[in-house]
Amino acid sequence: MSDSQTQSSDQSGEERRGFEAEVAKLLRLMVDSVYSEREVFLRELISNAADACDKLRYEALTQPDLTRDDPDFAITVEVDKDAATIRVSDNGIGMNRTEMREHLGTIAKSGTEAFAKQLTGDAAKDVSLIGQFGVGFYASFMVADRVRVISRRAGEQAAQEWESDGHGDYAIRNAERAGRGTDVILHLKDDAREFLDTTKLDDIVRTYSGHIPVPVTIREAGAEDAASVSQGTALWTRPKGDIADEEYTEFYRHVGGGFDEPAWTIHYKAEGMIEYTVLLFVPSMRPMDLFDPARKPRVKLYVRRVYITDDTAELLPGWLRFLRGVIDSEDLPLNISREMLQNNPVVRRMRKAITNKALTELERLADKQPETFAKIWEQFGPVLKEGLYEDADRREQLLKLARFRTTKRDGWVSLADYVAAMKDKQSAIYYVTGEDEAAVARQPQLEGFKARDVEVLLLSDPVDDFWLQVATDFEGKPFKSITRGGSDLKDLGDAPAGDDAEPVADDKLDALIARLKAALGDTVTDVRRSDRLTETPACLVADDAGMDLHLERMLKAHQQMAQAMPKVLEINPGHAMVRAMAEAAGKGDAPILEDAAWLLFDQARVLEGETPDDPAAFSRRLSRLITQGLA
- Confirm whether residue 508 is marked as ligand binding: no
- Confirm whether residue 44 is marked as ligand binding: yes
- Confirm whether residue 203 is marked as ligand binding: no
- Confirm whether residue 133 is marked as ligand binding: yes
Element (DSSP H or E) covering residue 607? helix 590-607
Q: What is the Cα–Cα distance from 530 to 523, expressed in whole angstroms?
A: 18
DSSP string computed for 425-490 = T--SEEEEE-SSHHHHHT-GGGHHHHHTT---EEE-STTHHHHTTT--EETTEEEEETTBS---GG
Element (DSSP H or E) covering residue 374? helix 370-384
User: Which whole-number Å values give the CA distances from 97 to 174, 176, 412, in the listed order?
Assistant: 9, 13, 52
Q: What is the Cα–Cα distance from 450 to 421, expressed in whole angstroms?
A: 14
Which residues, other chains included, contact 482 with Cβ-Cβ below 8 Å and sequence gap of 6+?
Answer: 430, 431, 432, 443, 445, 446, 449, 456, 532
- Confirm whether residue 90 is marked as ligand binding: yes
Helix axes 590-607, 576-587, angle to 10 degrees: 150
User: Which whole-number Å values give the CA distances from 131 to 113, 325, 327, 605, in the listed order?
Assistant: 17, 17, 23, 43
Q: Are 575 and 581 in contact (CB under 8 A)?
A: no
- Confirm whether residue 132 is marked as ligand binding: yes
Closest of 522, 492, 344, 501 to residue 422, by C-alpha:
492
- Confirm whether residue 200 is marked as ligand binding: no
**Count of C-beta atoms within a 10 Å radius of residue 157:** 7
- Confirm whether residue 80 is marked as ligand binding: no
- Confirm whether residue 136 is marked as ligand binding: yes
User: What does DSSP assign to residue 304?
Assistant: T
- Confirm whether residue 281 is marked as ligand binding: no
- Confirm whether residue 460 is marked as ligand binding: no
- Confirm whether residue 134 is marked as ligand binding: yes
- Confirm whether residue 530 is marked as ligand binding: no
Binding site for ATP, by residue number, is: 44, 48, 90, 95, 109-111, 132-137, 182, 338
Binding site, by residue number, is: 44, 48, 90, 95, 109-111, 132-137, 182, 338
